[in-house]
A and B are shown apart, each in its own frame.
Chain A
Amino acid sequence: MADAALRQSSAPWLLSLPSLLLFVGLLAVPMALTAVLSFHVFEGMRGIQPTFTIANYVQVLTDGYYYELFLRTGLMSLGVTAICVLIGVPETLILAKMRPALQGTFFVVILGPLLISVVVRTLGWQILLGRQGPVNSALLSLGLVEEPVRFLYSMTGVVIVLTHVLLPFMIVAIWSALQKLDGQVAHAARSLGAGPITTFRRVVLPQLMPGILSGAIIVFTLAASAFATPAIIGGRRVKVVTTAIYDEFLTSLNWPLGAAIAIMLLIAIVAVVLGSNRLVELRFKQVFA
């Protein structure tokens, strides 16, 4: 009896043990180590000293350079998120109106960017966006620009490429909200006297908002923590928080400072996510209750 009860109460734990070990070993421990590292002292000649200090954080919080870095990262992520919303909403609505057979095909197309290795994808973009690349050639021959646009090593290029890879997350999030939408609701609004635009603005869009906001959280988080795209497309010129961390670790070898910046980035992202979650809950709790 007692044995059975014991076995029953320990079963969930035993079953989740493998994933728990994986989680602790691969996520919690490295993060804890990073946090510990961020409080260590770095001396140019002697390297990392296991002495407790908050100097790294003081440095990040007092130096305008880091503010600029965080601001640039934030604006970049915000821009990517906004463009993803602007493209994602109509794209999802068009997708929803397609015949089921076509929907499957286009879902693969939309999820395409996620199926390709980040390096291949980014290098591909590098060719496309180059000074003599197809995009610039097209713009020049159409007479839209006088001289080649500088996409590479510019914020424009980074935002374009990040939008490309993060858009699928937005679309999937909006798609799931759209699936919960009662198809007759739009008809109801029309029959009550609302035109197509009013119906979309007053009835459809508010019901998609939870999806849009959760998609926005995903996109923002991934954009703010993206490394490969800003590093390859942005290069040295467009420095964001992640590339700065990379530089501290691998160029300056100042691991504690890099760790401190990483922890600050983590805190900033968590704050944004929790804040938006709260907004969603307060504003839209009725929609899917």
Chain B
Amino acid sequence: MSTMSLRGLSKSFGNVQAVNNLDLNVEGGEFLSLLGPSGCGKTTTLQMVAGFLPPTAGKVLVEGEDITYVVPEKRDMGIVFQSYALFPHMTIAQNVGFGLEMRKMKRPQLQERVGEALSMVRLSGLEDRYPSQLSGGQRQRVAIARVLAIRPRVLLLDEPMSNLDAKLRGDMHVELRALQRRLGITTILVTHDQVEAMTMSDRIAVMTGGKIAELGTPQQVYDKPVSEFAYRFLGQTNEINGEISVRDAGSATFRVGSASIPVEASEAPQGSAIKLFVRPERLRICPVDNSKVKGKITTRLFLGGVWFYDIDSDIGRLRVSAPNLGAAQADEGETVGIDWNPGDMQIATPEVANG
């Protein structure tokens, strides 16, 4: 249950600032994801934590101990790589035992630990196979067993699922999460897959431009993000540009062109241009009479579990989703009303300029 913190961690390559003054505290036993698009600095951050890349500035602390310049082999971290990085010339048992061998563990104890690690990932019986004889999913389990065998202080997962097919990936998310909770091992996952980050993490750090744009539980970062970037990057969202036209103590009116809608009170001064964000699943199609805005359905998409509607409304084009409950659905070309709960129209703080 090791805590870890990154203090003002920075890395630049020439003129490119890959990681910019990053501060992050990871609790003992926590599962934290660094989520972001490619080039956001998440992999560079992981490389610095693992010791493969020296930071330009800042510190990496594990349990308060400064390990910024400690060589990788002395960090006691377990890393599961995207390519799994198994040793092809060694058997599965030799692969899993490699870290223990490096720790000069005696043979009987080593074998016991290897067996234990392999049974944790449900691969018992494959000890004498070679990596090339295993399937992609099995190889990934070997990679996980190999790091669990050394009982690392911190587990680092570098896009570990990206080479698995969708079904297997879903299963592994659940399995790896359960394993991590059971072992209580502090874990950092680097991924660009938001589903992966959401299903497994205790907290998610959404990264962009070498900085953390958003930090919180999966629900917090999805439902109530503070940054525009998180709104756009996570899931789908409707973005409405307009201005605050009337502002009272408890409420405000938001105007888009000639239409206006009520919004919750905001800090933004009257007359200021702001953006509203609302998730498609927080909008409801309803009869025109008791709706907040009305619009015409331009496109209707069926995705099995949900319906998607693109609606040209008074306040701009909106995407609305509705669960497929078997009921009759409004058709393309129909004019419908759209309703929502007041709290679901959210005002995000504008993008922080990247320095």
Contact = CB atoms under 8 A, between A and B. Distances in A.
Interface of A: 182, 184-185, 187-195, 198, 202-203, 206-207, 284, 286-289
Give the 6 A-B CB pairs with smallest separation, nearest first.
A193-B102, A192-B99, A188-B85, A184-B85, A289-B132, A190-B72
Contact of B73 (A184, A185, A190, A289): A190
Nearest to B82: A184
Given A191-B75, A192-B102, A184 B83 contact: yes
B150 A187 contact: no
Interface of B: 50-52, 71-75, 77-79, 81-83, 85-89, 98-99, 102-103, 130-133, 146-147, 150
A194 B132 contact: no
Contacts of A189: 87, 98
B79 A187 contact: yes
A286 B73 CA distance: 27
B50 A187 contact: yes
A187 B83 contact: no
A141 to B, nearest CB: 43
Nearest to B78: A191
Given A187-B50, A187-B52, A193 B150 contact: yes
B87 A203 contact: yes
Contacts of B102: 192-194, 198
Nearest to A210: B89
Given A187-B79, A187-B81, A193 B89 contact: no
A187 B79 CA distance: 9
Contacts, number: 75
Contacts of A194: 73, 98, 102
A206 B99 contact: no
A191 B77 contact: yes
16 contacts: A185-B87, A187-B50, A187-B81, A187-B85, A190-B51, A190-B71, A191-B72, A191-B73, A192-B78, A192-B146, A192-B150, A193-B150, A202-B98, A203-B87, A286-B132, A289-B88
B70 to A, nearest CB: 12
Nearest to A289: B132
A209 B96 CA distance: 22
Contacts of A185: 85-87
Contact of B88 (A190, A195, A198, A286): A286
Nearest to A187: B52
A202 B77 CA distance: 20
Contacts of B75: 191
A286 B131 CA distance: 8
Given A182-B83, A184-B82, A202-B98, 5 more contacts: A185-B85, A187-B81, A189-B98, A191-B50, A193-B73
B72 A184 contact: no
A203 B98 CA distance: 10
B99 A287 contact: no
Nearest to A288: B88
